[in-house]
Structure 1
């Protein structure tokens, strides 16, 4: 059977002349329409910065449990920051307009065996960071704050490319809805578990799901683990084999709504491994409604307008 291939886009030309920028933008948009995922290579995030990010992530997760729990994820779903120990979070595709405790209980019958640490902007009072004490891992907070900003800089360039590829007159159409203060940097660690436990569904890593964001930038270690649903054969998943220093960019729910389903993306993440996703999210009061160039008289808007904060509640209330 034919198998979907995840496209590779060379982003080096984005800083070139207008014709080269247009080509890069069209390549990214084509990948988003065809697969929902794309490898972005030769982006402007320094290789050494990525290496340092994984080094700091390993150091954090190697800390004693007592140290990591000094920055615990706040109780409930409203604040998505701090350390989540194995079993606290359950990733799913479930959505609810109210807290459905029975459904939450069913989802948690198979626990997610992973731990994570979520970081945001220190200028977002509604999502306060939960930093571990500085003396627990000196230099960690300052590095992650810088890395968060660098990821948004690169993510902003990709949002501009998407706008150009969608033939929007203003290349900042999407970027203007993202101040950078509502994004999320996530450090992920998957401890080793028996393969049989996964195969018999006694445990899970990170089951099939879509992201709530506009786009996600994922950095993988050499172990890999990310899988992408094959658009040529729904229900079949193909590995997103790690490409050194590449960003795996995928379409999130909100960009799917913005683009009137022209873009779509679904993923599942399943030896000990690390990954670092960076979620670019619109500001909480941003209204997600169909982009003008993505609707026509014969293809009207499919979704009612919704704010980021309202959509976040629908998804997050089922996760914690």
Structure 2
């Protein structure tokens, strides 16, 4: 595994991190807690020391699973990244309405983006309890909350840093302008955003800014929620409640399939799966410090971690990029 410094912080993270959204089950067709715990432990054995989760992932379930998985690990050998600002438990609606949904038990919930100072502090206390730890390595606002001034949210995280409850602060899904505004109040170290072979929009503005200003980019959905694994081109591939049945509709699936077939010889030469080749390519892109990879079981988690064993030279990366340019 390769380890990298996160922004201007002293925190070192694994280049591939365990993304624990699917572990929470919500929007992924439920979860098997035992398998999810085993997946995190297996990833850690392969050198994946960084775990990214959030309260909204299963309405606390994902954080609980992470907390269970790390019980046998030395706390200074794991970096916990979690989030705040997606509330499903508000007694009085506040913030920006996102969606009506159902939790893992089928109960109706209403989700709001909300990041007031008091809300941030409450969420962190809840997360610490679910994770079974007394500090969080990197706390991130999950989505921008237009109803709360950015400065107020950053001040809340600054207070938590002073209290030792978090070591550093990051953001997620922020534009460059929002990052700049946040940094007027607090030295945030990272921005977690979607980035993949099929979604490279951040290369126009966020990547140059990150490179110039010591900001780490945490790439989520690098495999486009499984599409780039090549497993989901057949019909009826998803369990009930799995959001991907609709998510994949935004892509020209035939073009994606053709792209994967074009890079198949390279994957075979490297003795790698499509997923491993995609992950390794992502880790080598400018400004990408962490590449998040989810796994539903130990086998998938190990395979994700072993993507870092693949060596890609400039000519091979150029070959992949030329194939991508066609789609």
TM-score band, normalised by the shorter chain?
Answer: under 0.3
Normalising by structure 2, report the TM-score: 0.24
Q: Which has the higher contact order (CA 8 A, sep 6+)?
A: 1
Q: Scaled by the length of structure 1, what TM-score is found?
A: 0.25
